[in-house]
Structures are given as C-alpha cells and as structure tokens.
Structure 1
Amino acid sequence: MKFVPHAYQQYAINYIKSHPITALLLDMGLGKTVTTLTAIRDLMYDTFEVKRVLVVAPLRVARDTWPEEIRKWDHLKNMTCSVVVGTAAERRRALQKQADIYIVNRENLVWLYEHCKLSFDMVVLDELSSFKNHQSKRFKAMKAMRPKVKRIVGLTGTPTGNGLMDLWAEFRLLDMGERLGRFISQYRSLYFKPDRYNGQIVYSYKPLPGAADVIYHQVSDITVSMKARDYLKMPKLVSVIKEVYLSDEERKRYNGMKKSLVLELPGGEVTAANAASLTLKLCQIASGAIYTDDKGVVTIHDRKLDALEDLVESANGKPVLVAYWFKHDKERIQKRMKVRELKSSKDFADWNEGKIPVALIHPASAGHGLNLQRGGSILIWFTMTWSLELYQQTVARLWRQGQTDQTVVVQHIVAKGTIDERILKVLEHKDGTQAALIDAVRADLKMTNV
C-alpha cells in the first residue's frame, strides 16, 4: 500500500529526524507506528545515521502491530525486523537474525538487557507511559541502556494518565534527567508539595501553584503533541450510561461491606484489609459477583448481565466489543451468551473481518496499539477501570482513523449509587491534567517549519 502522509505525519517524521530526543504524544488513531517507521527508514537508508533499532512495546503490539505495519506499506518493504518474544530459546534465535529493527515486548526488556550483546543506536519506546514507575525493573533496565543510545523516541497518547508525577520517569529515560532532574526527589521538591500524609509518611503529592506550566515549558523543546480531532475527520464519539439498580437486599450488602469492611455471605466471608482492597470489593459487588477470602466466587446479582444482554440485542446484529475487568466477569458473561475473547492474532484478524458478533477484551492486556476499528463501532464497559490511560486506549481501539462507521458508541453499564459512578467522575477529573499537557506542547504546523 502506498503511504501518503498527512501534513501532521510529515511534520512528526521531520521532527524525529531532526531531534535525537523526541517525545511524540500522538493521540490514538493518528498513525504513530507508520510515522515512526518512516522516520527510521529515512535515518537508516537516506542519511545513514542509524544502523540498528530497538522497539519496546506491549506484547501484542510488538508481536502483531509493528511487523504488520512494516509489511503493509510499500516504502517500508526493504526493511527487516525480528520479533523478540516467546520462550527464551525463541528470543535468542530472534536476536541471532540479521535485521534492521528488533522488536521486544516490554516484559522481556530486562532479559534483553541481561542477555543481548547487540548494540542499538536508536530506541523507540512505544507506550512511553508504561515506564512511568521509576522503581520498576523495566525502567531500571532502560535507564542502564540509555547512555549508549544516540537517538530515542517515546510514543504515547496518554503521558499523564495519573497526574504530573508520571512525567518524571518518562522524561528521565528520554533526556537522562536534563529537563526534569536526574532524581525523583529533585522533581518532587521543585514542583510538588505533600497532599496526604500520616506523620512522616507521605501518601500523595499535589503540584505547587504554577508548577504545571513550568514543567510543560521544560519539556516543550523535545515534545510534539497532536490530538486526533485537530487533524482528522474523526467519527462522532457518543458516550452513554446504562444504569442498573440494586435491590434492597443487594444494596444492604453493598453498604454493609462499605461500612464494616466485612461481608458475610452463604458462600463464605469477604474481608477488605484496606481502602484499596475495599474499592476492588465494591467494584465487584457493583458488577454482580465477589471473590471470597478462600478464592471462591459468590454471585450477588445479574443486573449487569441482563443489561449487557439488552444492549447486545439492541445492536441488531452489529458487532459488539465488551470490556471486562475481573475474571469472574468474563466467566459469567461466557455462561450467559456466546462470546469470544480477543487474545491471539487470529482473534484480532477475525474480529476485523466481522466474524465475531460479541467479543471480550481486557483493557490491561489489549488496550494499547491494536487496530480493531474495522470490526465494529460499539464498545460496552461491563466493568469500569480506574486507569484513565487504559480507558482511553481501549476506547481508541474503535474510535480511530480507519473507522468506517460515522459514529462510535461507548456504553457504560453503571450500578446506580455505587462506586461505578465515582470511577466515571475520577476519569473525567484526571483528564484535566492530561489535556493540559497535550495543549501546552501542541505542535503548531502553520508556524513551525522543521
């Protein structure tokens, strides 16, 4: 297929080529993979600045999306890639192959650092936000590899899914601490103050007045951000809430759990050790089932299952993608109706070919990088997630460039008067911080000539 870049894509390609360090904050659906690959091709074959590239991505994106994009476009047909996933033996064989680009899933980055003798002069971190935890092994491995890398590109559409504190680790890998400091303690003391604490222990921080603007300015010289709605004719996104109502007995159980942190059920006792655990338990009750202390599952109600059945029926045969969170959600849905979980490359291909009427997807395992827009335009959230990043990324599997329907419908099944409503509000609140970052460093194509 012939690649004719949009103006914003050509701008991003030129930016990567002219900036050894690039944070490319492209909204979901703007084609960041082909954009980055085109820049790599030019650097490799036209200017000879790059010889070997490492791409680090989520598993399914590493295994499916990057190789598929290389095969898809005519101008990339001479590029070779080796996908470093699978067993240790398979990964070793992949590293022994001669290739321009080596693609590894982020879970195996530590293994790669410890076992790979190849040197890479360019690294692409697909979903830069997955490196936001500075204490993670993957962050430490990449930090150790970084000084030997001449060029680095960080790709994401959700840089601050949980607030500005996420940015330090992401940019620490990109510029080795030049803009936001080499140490997290530096960053915290300069831009934040304690928010919630108990004695000497600080549980959370909040930005100091004016800190956000300073942070955005600090990273603006290596950052490009673009929103899909500014550059593409996107389908209309319709968000709908489908409310379900608990019975008096179910409400009594929910409130009892909330107040006492202990719930007595015929199938066993459920306890919540702390606020985080309680949150999960309340989410489970809202969804209709809960795990007991002995790992059993007790069904509380079928309200959401009934609502899901109604929504699938009202789709009138159009394919429906259902997002779930807990394992018992999936099992209960599978018992109620014929569904197929999207996990393998074959599953994704069949969905895009319209062969799956009702598909299940877990945001944590399939939220990034997958192109599912050809298979349908209806997404139903059976269970909500607290993660803004996973929420937006999952929605963007359907609401993106290449969607043939004029409208993408996102249905949220919400148990009235439960934590479900709070989750939706939290997601809306978190978007403010992220939108501010995107807007602060948005590329001005009319005024910038690179």
Structure 2
Amino acid sequence: MQYKAHDYQEYAKEEIIKKKACGLFLEPGLGKTVITLSAIWELMFDYFEISKVLVIAPLRVAENTWTEELEKWDHLTFLRISKVLGSEKERIEALKTPADIYVINRENVAWLCKLCDWDFDMLVIDELSSFKNPSSKRFKALRKKRPGIDRVVGLTGTPSTNGLMDLWSEIYLLDQGKRLGKTIGSYRADFFVPDRMNGYIVYSYKPRPGAEEFIYSLLSDLCVSMKSRDFLEIPERLERDVKVKLPETAKGIYKEMEREMVAKFTDKTIDAVNAAVLTNKLIQMASGAVYDDQGNTAELHSSKLDALEDLIEAANGKPVLIYYNYRHERSRINERFKDAVEIKTPEDFKAWNKGEISIAMAHPASMGHGLNLQHGGSTVIWFSLPWSLELYSQANARLWRQGQKDTVVIFRLLAEGTIDRDVARALEKKDITQEALMQAVKARVTDG
C-alpha cells in the first residue's frame, strides 16, 4: 500500500530524525508505528546514521503490530525485522538473524541487557509509560545501557497516567537526567512536597506551586504531543455513567465491610488486613461478588448484571464490548449471557471486526496497546473500573480511533454509595494532569 503521510505525520517523523532523543506523545490512531518506521528508513538508507535498531514493546504489539506495519507500506520494503520472542533459544536465534530492526517484549528487557553484545545504535520504546517505575528491573537494566545508545525514541499516548511523578524515569531514558534530574529523589525534592502523611511516613506527593508549568517548559524541546481530535476526523466519544442501586441487604454488608474491614455472608467470612486489600474487596463487592481468603467466590448481589442486561437489550443486537477486572466478573457475565465471547486471540479480533460477535468480553490489560477493534462496534461497557488511567484510556481507544464510523458510547456501571464513584473521580483527576502535560508539549503543525 502506498503511504501518503499527513502533515502531522511528516512533522513527527522529522522530529525523530532531527533529535537524538525524542518523546512522541501520540494518542492511539495517529500512526506512531508507521511514523517511526519511516524515520528509521530515512536514518538508515538516506542519512546512513543508524544500522541496527531495537524496539521494545508490549508482547502483543511486538508479536504483530511492527511486522504488520512493515509489510503494509510500500516505502518500507527494504527494512528487515526479527522478532526476539519465545524461549531463550528462540530469542538468541532471532538476535543472530541478520535484520535492521529487532523487536523484543518488555518482559525480556532485563535478560537482553545481560548479554554481552549490545550494538544497537537506535532504541525505540513503544509505550514509554511502561517504564514509569524507577524501581523496576526493566528500567534499572535499560538505564545502564542507555549511555551507549546514540538515538532514543519514546512512544506513548499516556505519559503521566498517575500524575507527574511518573515522568522522571520515562524522561530519564530519553535525556539521561538532563531535564528532570539524575535521580528520582532529586526530582521529588525539586518539584514536589509531601501531600498525604502519617507522622514521618509520606504516602503521596503533590507538585510545588508553579512546578507543573516549569516541568512542562523543561520538556517542550524534547517531547511532542498530538491528540487524535486535532488531526483526524473521528466520531464523537460519549461517556455515560449508569447508576446501579444495591439491594438493602447487600448495601448493609458493604457498609459493614467498609467500616469494620470484615463481613460475613453466604457462610463466608470476608476480611481485609489493610487499606489496600480493603479497597480491592470493596470494588469487587460493588460489582456483586468477592473472593474469600481461600480464593472462593462469594456472591453478594446481581444488580450490575441486571443493569448490564438492560444495556445489552437496549443495544438491540448492536455489538457491545464489556470490560471486566476480575475472573469472577467474567464468569458471572458468561453465566448470565451464554453467547458472550471473550476476545483474546488474533482470530477473535478478526471475528469481532467482521461483526461476528455481538457480546464481547475482555480484560483491559490484554487490550491496551496495538489493537484495532473500531470496525466491530462502537459501544463499550465497563462492568467495574480500573484504577489505572493508562488501562482505561488505552482500552477505550481500541474502538475510539481512526476508522471508527459511529459515535463511541462508553457506559460505566457505578454502584451507588460505593467506592465505584471514588475510582471514577480518581480517573478524572489523573486525566486532568495528563491533559495539562499533553497541551504543554503539543505540536504546532500548520497545514499547507
């Protein structure tokens, strides 16, 4: 297929070529893979600046997306790709295979960094936000290799899903600490103050007055932000919160658990040893069931299933994609709706896009990156919400992206008087911070 780059794609490509380190904060659907591949092609065959590229990506993206994009476009014909996946033996063989681009999943980054041979002159981190934890093995391993890499590109549409603290390790892999400091400690001390505390124990930090704007200004020459709605004609996206009323008995048990951190029903005792466990239990109880200490499921109510049934009936045969967060949610949904299909394989994705699945289920963690599902439907239903803005945003973007022809409607089932509303508020608060960052480093691309 012939590639005709949009102006914004040409702009982004030139940013990669021009800068030794570049962060592209591109929302899903803007074509960040083909943009990056086009830049690699020119750097390799026009400028002769690189000869061997490493791409780190989520497993599903590493398996499919980069190869599919390479095969799709005519101008990328001469690029050779090798997928460093599978068993250790298979990965080693893939590294020995002559190629221009080597793609590896992020779970094997630490393994790759231990190998003696490290002759990549360009690194592409697809989903840079997966390196936001400075304590992770993958970040620590890659940090040691970073000085020997001439060019680095970081790709993500969700750079700061949990707030500005996420940015330090992501930006460090790009500029080695030039803008936000050499350590997470110095970054924290320079730009943040304690927020939630218990004595000397600090649970969270908040930006100092003026820190957000200063951080954005520091990143303005390094990062480029682009939002789909600014460059593509995509349908409207609507979010609809569906209030779910719990039965009085279930509400009483929920409040008991919330107050006492222990509750008993259906001959099972549910307890929480700390606040984190309690939060997890309350989210489950709001959705209608909860795991006990032995991993068995105790059912509390069916209110969300009833609300889900109403939404499916109102869809009148129109395909719906249901996101769940716990196995017992999947089981209960499947029990109520016998024709519901969990989509998780390439064959399932194709069947969905062909319109062959009317009720689909998926866990957001398995749907986050690199999947195009916009051709199979336009209705999303969240049975329960995740805490992670990245999971939430990326999962919604599977349907709300370029190529979608209908208005995308996202329904969120929220049990009244429960933690559901707190999770929804937390996602909205995180999105405000991320939106500010995206706007601050937004690319100014003019047509013509």
**TM-score by structure 2 length?**
0.97
1:301-354 Cα deviation digits (max 9, x unpaired): 111112222222222222211111011111111222222222222222222222
Q: Give the match for residue 351 of structure 2.
A: 350
* Counterpart code for 1:445: V
Deviates more, 1:391-400 or 1:271-280: 271-280
Cα offset, 1:118, TM superposition:
4.4
> Secondary structure at 1:209's aligned position in 2?
coil
Give the TM-score normalised by the residue count of structure 1: 0.97
Q: Which runs of 4+ in 1 moved over 4 A?
A: none
Contact 2:288 2:304 in 1 (8 A): yes
1:249-328 map, 5 Å: 249-328=249-328
Matches within 5 A, 1:99-138: 99-115=99-115, 117-138=117-138
Q: Using the alignment, how far apart are the partners of 1:411 and 1:272 within structure 2?
A: 30
Q: Distance in 1 between matches of 2:368 and 2:322?
A: 12
| SS of equivalent residue, structure 1 residue 99 | coil
Amino acid at match of 2:216: Y
Compute the displacement of 1:57 (Å). 0.8
Residue 392 of structure 1 is matched in structure 2 by 393
How far apart are residue 364 of structure 1 and its match?
1.6
Output the CA distance in 2 between the equivalents of 1:100 and 1:340.
39
**Is the contact between residue 238 and residue 409 of structure 1 (CA under 8 Å) also seen in structure 2?**
yes
Mapping for residues 355-366 of structure 1, pairs under 5 Å:
355-366=356-367
Secondary structure at 1:2's aligned position in 2?
Answer: coil
- Mapped to 2, the partners of 1:258 and 1:119 lie a distance apart of 55
Q: Which moved more, 1:339-348 or 1:429-438?
A: 339-348
Q: Paired residue for 2:333?
A: 333
Partner residue, 1:49: 49
Note the 1:46-445 alignment, pairs <5 A.
46-115=46-115, 117-337=117-337, 338-405=339-406, 407-445=407-445
- C-alpha distance in structure 1 between counterparts of 2:84 and 2:351, whole Å: 25
Cα displacement string for residues 78-134 of structure 1 (whole angstroms, at most 9, x for unaligned residues): 211111222222222222211111111111111121236241111111111110000
Percentage identity across aligned positions? 53
Give 5+ residue unaligned stretches, structure 2.
none
1:199, 1:249 → 2: CA distance?
38
Q: What SS class does the counterpart of residue 329 from structure 2 fall into?
A: helix
Q: Which amino acid aligns with 1:12?
A: A
Is the 1:95–1:116 contact (alpha carbons within 8 Å) kept by the matching residues of 2? no
String of CA shifts for 1:265-318, please: whole Å, max 9, x gaps. 234211111211111111001111000011111111111112222222222222
Letter of the structure 2 residue corresponding to residue 127 of structure 1: E
Equivalent residue letter for 2:376: G
Offset from partner CA, 1:399-429 (integer Å, 9 cap, x none): 0111122x11111111112111111111111
- Alpha-carbon distance in 2 for matches of 1:315, 1:123: 45
Q: Secondary structure at the match of 2:103?
A: strand
The aligned residue for residue 37 of structure 1 is 37
Helix, strand or coil for the counterpart of 2:102? strand
Q: Where do 5+ consecutive residues of structure 1 fail to align?
A: none
Deviation at 1:144, TM superposition (A): 1.4
